[in-house]
Amino acid sequence: MTRLRIPPAGRTRLVAVGAACVIGGFAVVAGILALTGGDLAVTLSGWGYGAAGTPYAISQTVAYAAPLILIALGATPALRAGVIVVGAEGQVIAGAIASTAVAFSPLGNLPMALALPVGALAGVLGGAAWAMIPAIPLLRWRVSEILTALMANYLAVHLLTYLLRTVMRDPEGHSTPRSAELPAPSQIPLLPTAGRLTAGVIVVGLLVLVGVWWHRTRSARALDVFAESRWLAGRLELTPARAILGTGAVSGAAAGLAGWMQVAGVDGNLTPGVAGGIGFTGLVVAVIGASRPVPIVAAGLIMASLTTGASGIQLYSPSTPSSIGQVTQGVLLLAIALALAVAQRHRARRRAADG
């Protein structure tokens, strides 16, 4: 059997992009702190305490990181194939809607051992189906997956708003649109920790192990080849349909599963803010983690700590706004967007040169 060799250019470029984003993003934030009179050392100390200084803080950081890691793991195959996936935000919403609909059906009142897998499966299918909105036009007409994915995100937000004002609205009525509380068997149980850490983190941990295994398989290496040369990938029996639709379905399924975790584990009901930006942040985690499972876990914890560490920053440095964590996430997201645009342009030029 012939051993599959991968051109190293794509991997090296992806690692370089992740490193550049981390260094550049934090350098910009450090500059902002210096210009506003903030003390970087004190801010970092407060950030560390807020994110990991107590058992409760650690639990909250892990809980916030779990969906980011899950979305990043799902985006990894697509990124390795050279497909830019920015539709996770809409896919999270689609998965959350699907799992909520199942929870309010007779299936949601089954014993927990059955209701939870059924809800998770609904989220997976909902996210995967929504991922076909950008994937099919890309495959059939070569329409930019970025434009169609962003459009699909927009549609998902408005679909969610409509449903929460009509068929999914809580019958008891509230000042803000939201669904009723999910039946108890359909809610993910909490772990015995200081914070609101659910058993969903166990699912994410298992998927990380699956990602470590998949990273070493022939199919993973074939996607690397597809990103560099579709002709060569065809010789390996990897067609554009399999690569684009397959990786799109995986990314959508992971985002939909994250949507189920948000509804059934974090909120307990469906709200307009169910996605909360985790789709875009998960993409940042995937690129910073260089599409590798273990670095993705580290990147997910770092990105989560930027949010959970805000309370510690306020405690240690009252003059520094707690929003500095969100500013850092925004800077990193902008850096990732620019880097992905450059990478996509470089890949298009290379394919044009190859004919």
Residue closest to 227 by CA, chosen among 84, 92, 353, 112: 84
Q: Of residues 188 and 21, which shows the higher confidence score?
A: 188
Q: Is residue 177 part of a domain?
A: yes
pLDDT per residue as tens digits for the range 264-288: 998 899 999 999 999 999 998 998 8
Q: Quick one: pLDDT band at residue 84, thresholds 50, 70, 90?
A: confident
User: For the chain, what is the domain count?
Assistant: 1
Q: Is residue 213 part of a domain?
A: yes
Tell me, what's the pLDDT at 4? 47
- Residues of the chain with pLDDT > 90: what percent? 62
Alpha helices by DSSP H, listed for the chain, are 8-35, 40-52, 55-80, 88-103, 112-141, 145-165, 200-215, 218-228, 230-235, 240-261, 278-288, 293-308, 310-316, 324-354
Secondary structure of residue 195 in the 3-state scheme: coil
Tokens found for residue 247: 């990786």
Mean pLDDT for 24-52 is 81
Secondary structure of residue 274 in the 3-state scheme: coil
Sequence-distant (6+) residues with CB within 8 A of 16 are none
Q: Is residue 349 part of a domain?
A: yes
pLDDT per residue as tens digits for the range 210-252: 999 999 999 999 999 998 888 889 988 899 999 999 999 999 9
Rounded Cα distance between 282 and 328, Å, is 14
Rounded Cα distance between 71 and 281, Å, is 9
- What is the pTM assigned to this prediction? 0.91
Rounded Cα distance between 54 and 157, Å, is 36
Say which residue the tokens 């684009």 belong to. Answer: 244
**Which helix (H) or strand (E) is 174 found in, with range?**
none
Rounded Cα distance between 157 and 279, Å, is 13
Secondary structure of residue 245 in the 3-state scheme: helix
Mean pLDDT for 180-205 is 94
Query: Could you tell me if 286 and 209 are in contact, meaning their C-beta atoms sit under 8 angstroms apart?
Result: no
Q: Is residue 13 part of a domain?
A: yes
Sequence-distant (6+) residues with CB within 8 A of 160 are 93, 96, 97, 270, 272, 274
Query: Could you tell me if 185 and 111 are in contact, meaning their C-beta atoms sit under 8 angstroms apart?
Result: yes
What mean pLDDT value characterizes the chain?
Answer: 88
Rounded Cα distance between 275 and 323, Å, is 19
CA distances (Å), origin 49, targets 261, 299, 313, 327 = 27, 18, 8, 19
The half-sphere exposure of 316 on its side-chain side, counting CA atoms within 13 A, is 20
Q: Is residue 337 part of a domain?
A: yes
Tell me, what's the pLDDT at 2? 40
Rounded Cα distance between 288 and 329, Å, is 12
- CATH code where residue 163 lies: 1.10.3470
Q: Is residue 2 part of a domain?
A: no
CA distances (Å), origin 93, targets 21, 72, 137, 211 = 27, 16, 21, 24
Q: Is residue 1 part of a domain?
A: no
Structural domain including 232 reads 8-354
Rounded Cα distance between 285 and 329, Å, is 10
Q: Is residue 3 part of a domain?
A: no
pLDDT per residue as tens digits for the range 316-337: 877 777 677 778 878 877 777 7
Q: Of residues 145 and 34, which shows the higher confidence score?
A: 145
